[in-house]
Amino acid sequence: MPFAVFDKPGRFLRGNLHTHSTRSDGALAPEEVSRRYKAMGYDFYCLSDHFLKDYGFPITDTREHRAEGFTTLIGAEIHAGLTSQDEIWHILAVGLPFDFAPTADDETGPALARRAAEAGAFVAIAHPQWYGLTLADAEALDAAHAVEIYNHGCAVHSDRPDGTALLDALLSTGRHATAIATDDAHFKDTAEENADAFGGWVMVKAEENAPDAILAALKAGDFYASQGPELRHVAVDGDDIVIRSSAVEKVILLGPGARSRVVSGHAMTEARLSLAGFSGGWIRIVAVDAAGRRAWSNPARL
C-alpha cells in the first residue's frame, strides 16, 4: 500500500543521519556533537565521519552518548574512487559494524556500497548535486537505498543542496529509492548564517527508539524527510491523494516527466489533490510552509 508508513504502529522519531566530528574533518569532538543533537531535541543521530586512510578509517563509537530518549546509530561516510567526474565517491553508510574493513585501494564506489549494504548498512547517495554526480553514476551505485534529497551543509556552503533531480531521474528508470534530508554538519564556520547543523532531518516511524528498530525502518522506507513541516498522514482516497500536515502554504504532487500538481492556501493542514494522469508511475509529495521549508514524502508507486 502506498504511504503505508502513516498507518503503521509506533511514533515518528527525529534524526540526523550525516554529521562529522574531529575524528575526521569536523570541528567538534564526538561528545560535543552528540550533546548538541541531544540538546536540540533530536531522538537520534549518526556520527558519520569520513572513512578515509588519512583519518585512520574511523567508525566513531558514540554508544556512550546514548541516554534516555536519545540514541545513536553507528556509521560513516565511505569513500572510494572515482566517479564519472573523476571525483572520489561520497556514500553514506548508516549502521556499520565496528570491524568494517578499510577500503581497498582498487575498490570501486559501487563495490564499496555493496559491501556496506551486505554488512547491514542503510546506504545513501550523498549530496549528488554538490559533486556533479550523474544519473549513470547513481545507476551504477546499485546498493543505495536512498538519495540525499537535501543536504544542509551543501545548501549553506555551496548553494548545491539538491537531490531532487537525481532521485526523480532514478525513479523514472524503474529503480526504487527513498529520500533523506541531512545536515552533513562540520561545525567549522562559526558565523551564524553559515551554521550547517539542524537544517534537514528524517522522521522515522519506529516502535522503539533503538538503533536496530530505526535501521530496520530506514531500510523499509518508513520515514519522510523535512526541514520543518510535519507530514501527519498521506493516503490515496479513490482518485485523490489526501495529505494532512502541520500548517503549510503549498502541497505539491510530483510524478515522472513533467507531471506535477499543486494546491496552495494559507496555513493548510489538509490538502486533496487529484491523481488523474498519475497512474502507472511513481509519485511523491512535497509540502512547503510559510518560511519556504519543505517536507518530502518518500516516493510510492501507484
User: What residues make contact with Zn ion under the rule CB under 5 A?
Assistant: 77, 90, 126, 184
Minimum distance from CB of 180 to Zn ion (Å)?
13
Residue whose CB is less far from Zn ion, 26 or 229: 26
Residue nearest to Zn ion according to CB distances in the complex: 90
**8 A C-beta contact, residue 199 and residue 183:** yes
Closer CB to Zn ion, residue 131 or residue 263? 131
Find the shortest distance in angstroms from Cβ 188 to Zn ion. 12
Q: Are the C-beta atoms of residues 46 and 94 closer than 8 Å to each other?
A: yes
SS3 for the chain is CCCHHHHCCCEEEEEECCECCCCCCCCCCHHHHHHHHHHCCCCEEEECCEECHHHCCCCCCCHHHCECCEEEEEEEEECCCCCCCCCCCCEEEECCCCCCCCCCCCCCHHHHHHHHHHCCCEEEECCCCCCCCCHHHHHHCCCCCEEEEEEHHHHHHHCCCECHHHHHHHHHCCCCCEEEEECCECCCCCCHHHCCCCCCEEEEEECCCCHHHHHHHHHHCCEEEECCCCEEEEEEECCEEEEEEEEEEEEEEECCCCCEEEEEEEEEEEEEEECCCCCCCEEEEEEECCCCCEEECCCEEC
Q: Which is nearer to Zn ion, 209 or 227 (CB)?
A: 227
Residue among 65 and 90 whose Cβ is closer to Zn ion: 90
Complex with Zn ion: residue 79 or 115, whichever CB lies closer? 79
Q: Which is nearer to Zn ion, 90 or 294 (CB)?
A: 90
* CB of residue 273 to Zn ion, shortest distance in Å: 35
Of 3 and 130, which has the nearer Cβ to Zn ion?
130
Give least dist CB 77 to Zn ion, A: 5
Smallest separation (angstroms) from Zn ion to the CB of 19:
8
Give least dist CB 182 to Zn ion, A.
8
| Residue 79 C-beta: closest distance to Zn ion, Å | 8
